């Protein structure tokens, strides 16, 4: 049987943890169907379309930091590359969301209305550790996600979420390979 002091200490510690939960914990995930104000889809040739409601076209272009290039086309950044997009006005941009089994997936960006960008995964880096008979450093980038409720346009695009650097030596100095994965994040 545990002493009463340790039970009280645990209860106090648990209470402090709960009190430390940020207000963002009360936020909800945005909904791809009802909260989606704009959707950008681009192919490997960096040509694409912005699907947006007529009433939100201007706000979505501003949120995406799109630059007019003439002829009703715009240029904007997706996944670290410049893509050119035309505009397709639609009452419901979510109708154009690609199916999860589409391969390869197009580059995409999503604009959510009445949302805000919230840190969901902080960045970290591991020390040099053994990995499959080699050594590695694992580094993540902070990931932010659009959450509701909010009062602004929130843009999510894919970015590098983590990088694994693989080395041939235990001091992690002789780099032999890099691996990375992208995830959606807002800024």
150-162 pLDDT per residue, tens: 999 999 999 999 9
For residue 110, being part of any structural domain is answered with yes
pLDDT of residue 26: 86
Domain count along the chain: 1
Q: How far is CA 135 from CA 10, 12, 140, 160, in A?
A: 38, 41, 17, 21
Query: Residues 85, 42: contact at Cβ < 8 Å?
Result: yes
pLDDT of residue 9: 32
For residue 17, being part of any structural domain is answered with no
Alpha helices by DSSP H, listed for 41-133, are 57-63
pLDDT of residue 163: 95
For residue 1, being part of any structural domain is answered with no
Backbone angles phi and psi of 184, in degrees to 5: -70, 140
pLDDT of residue 69: 95
Query: Residues 112, 132: contact at Cβ < 8 Å?
Result: no
For residue 6, being part of any structural domain is answered with no
Enclosing domain of residue 141: 26-186
Question: Is pLDDT at 40 greater than 60 in this prediction?
Answer: yes
For residue 63, being part of any structural domain is answered with yes
For residue 58, being part of any structural domain is answered with yes
Nearest-angstrom CA–CA distance, 95 and 38 = 11
Looking from the CA of 111 toward its CB, the CA atoms found within 13 Å total: 25
Nearest-angstrom CA–CA distance, 113 and 38 = 9
For residue 13, being part of any structural domain is answered with no
What radius of gyration do the chain's Cα atoms show?
A: 22
For residue 88, being part of any structural domain is answered with yes
Nearest-angstrom CA–CA distance, 133 and 18 = 41
């Amino acid at each position: 049987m545990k002493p009463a002091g340790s039970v009280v200490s645990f209860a106090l510690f648990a209470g402090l943890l709960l009190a430390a939960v940020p207000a963002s914990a009360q936020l909800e995930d945005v909904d791809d169907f009802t909260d989606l104000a704009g959707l950008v889809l681009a192919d490997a040739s960096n040509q694409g379309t912005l699907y947006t409601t007529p009433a939100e076209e201007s706000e979505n272009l501003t949120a995406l930091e799109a630059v007019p290039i003439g002829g009703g086309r715009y240029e904007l950044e997706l996944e670290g590359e410049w893509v050119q997009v035309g505009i397709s006005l639609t009452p419901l941009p979510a109708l154009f969301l690609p199916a999860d089994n589409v391969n390869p997936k197009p580059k995409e960006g999503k604009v959510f209305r009445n949302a805000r960008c919230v840190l969901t995964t902080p960045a970290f880096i591991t020390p040099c550790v053994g990995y499959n008979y080699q050594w590695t450093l694992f580094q993540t980038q902070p990931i932010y996600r659009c959450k509701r409720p909010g009062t602004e346009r929130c843009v999510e695009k894919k970015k590098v979420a983590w990088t694994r650097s693989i080395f041939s030596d235990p001091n992690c100095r002789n780099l032999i390979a890099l691996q990375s994965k992208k995830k959606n994040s807002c800024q």
